[in-house]
Structure 1
Amino acid sequence: MFGQEIFRMPIRSTVTPAVGRRLIQTKRQHSLPAAYYRGGTSRAVFFNQKDLPAHRKDWDTIFRGVIGSPDPYGRQLDGLGGGISSLSKVCVVGKSTHRDADVDYTFVSLGIKNTNVDYSSNCGNMISAVGPFAVDSQLFALQEESAGSASVRIHNSNTGKIIHSSFPVVEGEAASSGDFSIDGVAGTAARVQLDFINPAGSATGQLLPTGAVIDTIDGIEATCIDVANPCVFVRAEDLGVEGNLTPDEITANPDLLVRLDSIRRQAGVKMGLAETPAAVPGSVPKICLVSTSSASNERATELKQTSADVDLVARALSVGQPHKAVPITVALALAAAARVPGSTVADVVNNKPVDAAGITIGHASGNLLVGANFDADGALSSATVFRTSRRLFEGRIYYKNDG
């Protein structure tokens, strides 16, 4: 009967392969042991060097997959980056190869929209988490007689410099709780003291790599100095802008960004970092606008600072982006440049410091005190800054490798 008949029609697929589209084979994700730390006003993924491939050339693809770069949308949603330079970072820590250090530390800065993986600079903020990571991962063995604190000597492989990190420990781990606070980070935490030993000449071997205190670039006076990282300091007034612009206001001024990048790249050539402006790395030299503490202080109330609170105002850029605070390496260079007569920084710094321990820098998120120490011969012997850090997670990190 008709009602009992079953009609079976052949099933045909209506899906056709996309013409010219590369077919990607489905495969399992890769994973590695890792940790995630906040250091100062930055965050980074941490790896124990022994868990990475032996050859550094094999690291780049891993780091891009972990951070989520390149991302044309600029958000790094498919990784642990945060869409801004202070969150697009990786730190590698391992056994020391330097006789004066306990651990080696390699800093890696990654581009957000591009494939750049940059090993040319150091990150002062993330150094504050290197000592705690070394303790937490047992790369650094605590001594019984100093169970309440640790002092880790760090060899930064990017610059060859030594940094001493001192911080409290609790039950064999780096302490996270404390009563110390830094502007740009909510709440309080345990204080981390960072002493940068002989920080001058990190990349160039000289405090003043061009041989001059002032260089004129694109008609603008600039001081090129190398302390912890190569830096270029220009007066905001000379560029016709206010000294305390917000990061958003700097971003909204493309002409200013173009001028600053041009100065930065030409300074990089003068400092010997590259042969042509186009070849200058994105991460160094850093460039920073400086101005007097009283210059255009309309936002003092908003930032909870007055001209009496700071010795100078600074607005730094990192990898082409205005920084929401001040990078620690830039702060160290500012402290040193403030002591160099005739520099653009010495020209605007308060000659009666707010705090005798060093200079107090007003940045986009608040204030920062940093000290520079010179020996009897006038050489920069050390620089000190205080930060906080915290372990956010540890375990295994998963990343794709579709290359």
Structure 2
Amino acid sequence: MSQTAIPFFFMRGGTSRGPYFNRDDLPADLDVLADVLVAAVGSGHPLNIDGIGGGVAVTTKVAMLSRSDGDWADVDYFFAQVGVEERRVDFKPTCGNILSGVGPAAIEMGLVTARDGETTINIHAVNTGAKVSALVQTPHGVVSYDGDTQIDGVPGKAAPVALQFMETVGGVTGSFLPTGNVIDTIDGIDVTCMDVAMPMVIARADSFGLKGYESATELDDNKGFYTHMEAIRREAARLMGMGDVSNSVTPKFGLLAKATQGGSVAARYFMPWKCHPTMAVTGAQCLASCVLTPGTVANGLAPLSNESPALIVLEHASGKIDVAVDYEHSAAGFEIKSAGLVRTARKLASGTLFVPAKVWEGN
């Protein structure tokens, strides 16, 4: 046997795509698992020519699903961010766009039985501990991918997948504001370090001499900005209690500016060594929370009402994304309770993926 066969579904979730596996079909050991995922994606080449990756970070993501043993969740969702040109895997973050496909994939895999009409699937995000409810369209007990919902960054329309994120605060660092401050100044730049769905370091675009409306390509070509940003990100991570993150994609970095297209605020999200072509679902929640929180770097950028839930519309590099944030002001301070978004997903392929047997000989 020269290769090991692994069943998989290949799906687009939100504005990302990648393989969705049953966790039981993969090695339990994380070091071996990382080697398998690197081989599957084809990391180490800019085109991922020896794997099924797409040559950019939003197409080298992996979802691994299993039935949950918990009282609340139906499915455990374990995420991996696989490198494009670097042969490495980061198991620390989660991905909300890929999560958009978890509900449909769980039904396709037989992990969840669909109802006629709509099926609610409770998902435990293993990497961060977040709880997410996904509402999937299932007429006649079958996943429907056809619909009239359009999300910026994806051509055409598809069936909606409504996501409600709960218990997302402090999932990685244990704290809403991990440094204990609303604003920290690092290397002359004011930043807000926040952990909501994804730990992030957030700054105003103009503090770097940027407008905040630049395209992803324009930002990626600005090597001076990336050098400065990465130094700040690493120091911020240390202040957040995350240690040395030179080889980790978290915390992510975000830039904010005043809106120009009718949204609440303009935002750019970094993965962190490339600008996201659209917007991460997890990052959108953190950025929206930053906009709503008094005294952050977002102060004064967006006119806000006191209504909850509040609809925050982020203008990203390819359009807009809406985030409905349920929050409250109490004696204990400002509290994020949950966030809701609507995404779409589509099954692209299913079958058997192969990795060299020298990487893993199978279970």
Same fold, judged at TM 0.5 (above)? yes
Report the alpha carbon displacement of residue 31 of structure 1 after superposing the two structures with TM: 1.4
- Whether 1:139 and 2:111 are equivalent positions in the alignment is yes
- Name structure 1 gaps, 5 residues minimum: 1-26, 295-305
Describe the SS at the equivalent of 1:126: helix
Q: Contact between 1:268 and 1:280, CA under 8 Å: does it hold in 2?
A: no
Report the alpha carbon displacement of residue 173 of structure 1 after superposing the two structures with TM: 2.6
Residue number among 178, 181, 198 corresponding to 1:212 in the alignment: 181
Q: Name the residue aligned to 1:370.
A: 323
Report the alpha carbon displacement of residue 395 of structure 1 after superposing the two structures with TM: 0.8
Amino acid at match of 2:323: V
Q: Contact between 2:2 and 2:358, CA under 8 Å: does it hold in 1?
A: no
Question: In 2, Cα distance between the equivalents of 1:124 and 1:401?
Answer: 32
Q: Contact between 1:282 and 1:319, CA under 8 Å: does it hold in 2?
A: no
Deviation per residue, 1:238-285 (Å, 9 max, x gap): 1111211111111111000111111111111111111x4xx4443211
- Within 5 Å, give how 1:98-117 maps onto structure 2: 98-117=70-89
Q: Name the residue aligned to 2:102.
A: 130
Q: Name the residue aligned to 2:90.
A: 118
Q: Contact between 1:269 and 1:280, CA under 8 Å: does it hold in 2?
A: no
Q: Contact between 2:192 and 2:296, CA under 8 Å: does it hold in 1?
A: yes
Q: Which structure: larger Rg?
A: 1
- Whether 1:379 and 2:335 are equivalent positions in the alignment is yes
Residue number among 229, 240, 246 corresponding to 2:198 in the alignment: 229
Percent identical pairs in the alignment equals: 34
Rate the CA distance shift 1:379–1:356 in 2: closer, same or farther, 3 A: closer
Describe the SS at the equivalent of 1:331: helix
Q: Name the residue aligned to 1:77.
A: 49
Report the alpha carbon displacement of residue 374 of structure 1 after superposing the two structures with TM: 1.4
Q: Name the residue aligned to 2:163.
A: 194
Question: In 1, Cα distance between the equivalents of 2:167 and 2:126?
Answer: 15
Amino acid at match of 1:382: S
- Whether 1:62 and 2:31 are equivalent positions in the alignment is no
Question: In 2, Cα distance between the equivalents of 1:266 and 1:213?
Answer: 16
Residue number among 326, 336, 341 corresponding to 2:279 in the alignment: 326
Report the alpha carbon displacement of residue 344 of structure 1 after superposing the two structures with TM: 1.0
Question: In 1, Cα distance between the equivalents of 2:68 and 2:87?
Answer: 29
Question: In 2, Cα distance between the equivalents of 1:270 and 1:44?
Answer: 33
Q: Which structure carries more strand by proportion?
A: 2
Amino acid at match of 1:243: G
Q: Contact between 2:266 and 2:316, CA under 8 Å: does it hold in 1?
A: yes
Describe the SS at the equivalent of 1:310: coil
Q: Contact between 2:119 and 2:137, CA under 8 Å: does it hold in 1?
A: yes
Question: In 2, Cα distance between the equivalents of 1:400 and 1:347?
Answer: 55
Q: How large is the RMSD of aligned CA atoms in angstroms? A: 1.7
Amino acid at match of 2:92: S
Report the alpha carbon displacement of residue 393 of structure 1 after superposing the two structures with TM: 0.8
Question: In 2, Cα distance between the equivalents of 1:381 and 1:52?
Answer: 35
- Whether 1:178 and 2:151 are equivalent positions in the alignment is no
Q: Name the residue aligned to 2:303.
A: 350
- Whether 1:31 and 2:31 are equivalent positions in the alignment is no
Question: In 1, Cα distance between the equivalents of 2:191 and 2:4?
Answer: 46
Deviation per residue, 1:150-204 (Å, 9 max, x gap): 1000001100111111121134332100001000000000001110012111101
Consecutive aligned runs of 4 or more in structure 1 exceeding 4 Å deviation: none
- Bigger drift between 382-391 and 393-402 goes to 393-402
Question: In 2, Cα distance between the equivalents of 1:346 and 1:388?
Answer: 32
Question: In 1, Cα distance between the equivalents of 2:51 and 2:272?
Answer: 19
Q: Name the residue aligned to 1:250.
A: 219
- Bigger drift between 48-57 and 148-157 goes to 48-57
Q: Name the residue aligned to 2:270.
A: 317
Q: Contact between 1:136 and 1:172, CA under 8 Å: does it hold in 2?
A: no
Q: Name the residue aligned to 2:253.
A: 287
- Bigger drift between 61-70 and 340-349 goes to 340-349
